[in-house]
Structure 1
Amino acid sequence: MMTHTIEGAPAPHRTLGRGGPRVSPLGLGCMGMSQFYGPWDDGDSLRTIHHALDLGVNLLDTADMYGPYTNEELIGRAVRHRRDEVLIATKFGNVKGPDGRVVGVNGRPEYVRASCEGSLRRLGVDVIDVYCQHRVDPSVPVEETWGALAELVRAGKVRHLAISEASPGTVRRAHAVHPMAAVQTEYSLVSRDPEDGLLATLRALGIGFIAYAPLGRGLLTGRITVTDDLTDDDFRRTLPRFQPGNLARNARLVERIARLARERGVTPAQLALAWVLAQGDDVVPIPGAKNRARLAENVAATRLRLSAEDRALLDAAAPPGSAAGDRYPDMSGVGR
């Protein structure tokens, strides 16, 4: 039975890939500070980012499509006087139309170069620490996209490269063009697709792993049990796992995790994050947080150590494939 509470020192820093950057065991996903998860406040977001740096979190994750563009500008304002304390990871490739909807994916070399210049300008920095291909463009060989990315590294505009939601085969092809620091994919107790070959491929190649949505887009906090818990403009209303029937089933799954958390004297979110952290010291989760209280709750999870029995209990509570509904309404754009 789980009986231990959070105590001791945070987990040590982790390395993204062979020779990659040293990062805090937990990063901060900044997407929700500018879009997607209901209302936000730039003032609260700036204070949250500064508090993250104060707590030793040094990896901030953003993308040009968040806002669009405004999230990078927010990050730029936040780190203007603290640049040496932070590693900025941003992404390119998802193209948005005038109404803010994603209209396609672009991996053409000229688009890569233009996107990098735009991100550098909005972030107000001379170099991007981790530049990530957000989605694979099926119309452009990944070797061409990564050839352009390699040029950006040689030009000193980017330090490290990453890719998001790519298949093991695509990862191998891109990594052969230029060494990859990390792959970013959704991973949590309710999203375990990376265990189907991707994590093994990354470890064989010496590539790190950034786990986005490690709390199942808020599902694993236990605070979302019915669709009406979400605001009308929350994009999770469009996701299969948050549709009424699926959400009811998923809430029952989360309650099993919550019971284990209560036995341990921690929150469900902390237990879920500790599970991701326990999957290997090459795994770095990046939960989102829009306020300092949620941030502090998440960071405390880095001091929670799980035993083999703890992990077995969590695996039994949420076995692979147990979540109801796909991650996205259209899964064709992931795992390419």
Structure 2
Amino acid sequence: MENVYLGATDLQVSRIGFGGMSLGADAAADQRRLTRAHAAGITFFDTADLYDQGRNEELLGAAFRHCRPEVVLATKMGNQWRPDGQGWDWNPTKAYILQAADASLRRLQTDYLDLYQLHGGTLTDSRDEVLEAFERLREQGKIRHYGISSIRPNVIREYVPGSGLSSVMLQLSLLDQRPLETVLDLLRTHNVGVLARGALAQGRLAGKPATDYLSRPAPQVARAAVAVQTVAVELGQMPGIIASRFVLDTPGVTAAVLGIRTEAQLAQALRLAECPPLSAEVRTRLLRAAPANGYEQHR
């Protein structure tokens, strides 16, 4: 499995990572999949304190407590569960970030996080307060690197310059090319790593029915899915692998973060690691089937 540096850091991650939100309800089966993924060379695992009210972090902690130095654990915070457990509120204050980090460390059964991320972000956040919290945690040895997870270009532009961010997690796929408009070039200029999620466009590029997606009507989504399917048949691959390879081949992308809710998804992800880059001709065909889309909000 190929490993690369995350932005201008000393942190190496596998080019294919797994997102904890996509795990299922059978904890034992989930742990077995995580163990097989690690044995196959996957080193980057991402989760968040929001997912399943922290139980997702507990699952990763149990899976990797015996081989902690061999994996890169990333989690996210900022969404604070209400006391009754019915929903959450956005809380990017320094006090809450410090508190949330300690809670995540306990659930993940580790004394440090490789990557700690703000799980969202708005223009009304106190950027300085967020960064102060990150730096305090780094000084204490509780985190090694920090970043944000955001699909808002105005927030990304606000946080990136002069911040010390190692990464930005964003959504990217053949059907969601919005980051290509301005964000990827910005992050590349500042040596910030890019963790891309959503490569399958919620399954629309891997066999699920074509329905409206973002600003794209269903017929346009269907054309893109057919193009992916056609390439997959030509190359002897699965549509999901072609859709994910499109993301991995996008200049500026550090790693693709995929889900492994099922055995089939794990097998597909591992096959992706063996799939060579798409040719320029194939990529052009895919892009022709799905014209570029831009940001409509948060510009």
2:12 aligned with 1:27, yes or no? no
1:117 Cα deviation after fit: 0.6
Letter in 2 for 1:279: T
2:242 aligned with 1:276, yes or no? no
The counterpart of 2:259, out of the listed 288, 295, 311, is 288
Letter in 2 for 1:17: G
SS at match of 2:66: coil
TM-score calculated relative to the size of structure 1: 0.81
Task: State the alpha-carbon separation in 2 of the partners of residues 87 and 160 from structure 1.
Answer: 11
1:257, 1:268 within 8 Å by CA — same for their partners in 2?
yes
2:210, 2:221 within 8 Å by CA — same for their partners in 1?
no
After superposition, residues 160-179 of structure 1 pair within 5 angstroms as 160-165=145-150, 167=152, 170-171=155-156, 173-175=158-160, 178-179=163-164
The counterpart of 2:113, out of the listed 122, 128, 132, is 128
Task: State the alpha-carbon separation in 1 of the partners of residues 42 and 125 from structure 2.
Answer: 35
SS at match of 1:56: coil
Q: 1:249 to 1:312 in 2, by over 3 A?
A: closer
Taking CA–CA contacts closer than 8 Å with sequence separation of 6 or more, which of the two structures ends up with the larger relative contact order?
1
2:81, 2:88 within 8 Å by CA — same for their partners in 1?
yes
1:108 Cα deviation after fit: 0.5
Letter in 1 for 2:21: M
Task: State the alpha-carbon separation in 2 of the partners of residues 26 and 104 from structure 1.
Answer: 31
Task: State the alpha-carbon separation in 2 of the partners of residues 171 and 252 from structure 1.
Answer: 31
Q: 1:174 to 1:138 in 2, by over 3 A?
A: closer
CA RMSD of aligned residues (A): 2.5
2:293 aligned with 1:310, yes or no? no
TM-score calculated relative to the size of structure 2: 0.90
2:199, 2:247 within 8 Å by CA — same for their partners in 1?
yes
Q: 1:176 to 1:306 in 2, by over 3 A?
A: closer
The counterpart of 2:204, out of the listed 210, 215, 219, is 219
2:33 aligned with 1:48, yes or no? yes
Q: Residues 58-93 of structure 1, C-alpha deviation per residue, up to 9 Å, x if partnerless?
A: 000100000011100111111111212210010001
Partner of 1:97: 82
Q: 1:102 to 1:146 in 2, by over 3 A?
A: farther
2:171 aligned with 1:186, yes or no? yes
- Unpaired segments of 5 or more residues in structure 2? none
Partner of 1:254: 225
More off after superposition, 111-120 vs 99-108: 99-108
Task: State the alpha-carbon separation in 2 of the partners of residues 94 and 183 from structure 1.
Answer: 17
Letter in 1 for 2:169: Q
SS at match of 1:88: strand
Q: 1:174 to 1:97 in 2, by over 3 A?
A: same
2:48 aligned with 1:63, yes or no? yes
2:75 aligned with 1:110, yes or no? no
Letter in 2 for 1:154: E
Partner of 1:234: none
1:274 Cα deviation after fit: 0.9
Aligned-pair identity in percent equals: 32
SS at match of 1:286: strand
More off after superposition, 153-162 vs 134-143: 134-143
